[in-house]
Structure 1
Amino acid sequence: MTSADRLWPFLCPSHPDHDDQSLNPVAADAPSLVNLECSRVLVCVAENDLLKERGWLYYQELGRRGWIGVVEIQETQGEDHGFHLYALGNEKAQDMIKRLAAFFNREMPPLL
């Protein structure tokens, strides 16, 4: 049992199995990823993030489920979930913020 398995029933008692679409975008009752209305997605995870596996699953499933767009993943080694919010002076946090800014500012062609 992962940390997410133990934590989720506390965070969302109405959906204690943690396969609620709020935490699992590829859950059986989640909306189709094909209809995601954007042209690019950046999934950010950290090596010690309790949701790291879910992030990687989301990254992989975007392509498998027929979504037409650009998906990238950023995994930061040696850090926990939300690390970039708690230690802004940390070099890895600054690198993450720079990566986010570059991603948001990049010109992308519109979806067909």
Structure 2
Amino acid sequence: RCWSPSWQWRRFVFVEQFVFGNLVLPVVLLTQLVLVGSLSWRWRRSVFVEQFVLGNLVLPVVLLTQLVLVGRFVFGNLVLLVPLVAVEEFVFVNLVARAVRVAGASRLG
């Protein structure tokens, strides 16, 4: 299942979302700072401050979501490595067992 094209595509989308989020995020933060720093429209300042605060409350959720997606990507790659480790252990155990059998046979013979 892990090697299916749909899984690969989803993994790519997660990484793409993470990169896109990191590119958009500084622009959003900069925009909010500019809005908060604007002194020309005093009656709108409170609205801008509210947007900035809301942005700061929403921002950790967005970042956490991206980290979860990256975590899935990393976890997916680690899961793919597990079968390879199991194969290596199987080969190693068979080589050791064969060496022990050969050594035992040479002692008996």
Q: Which has the higher helix share?
A: 2
Structure number with greater Rg is 2
TM-score, normalised to structure 2's length?
0.26
Q: Which has the higher strand share?
A: 1
Q: Which has the higher contact order (CA 8 A, sep 6+)?
A: 2
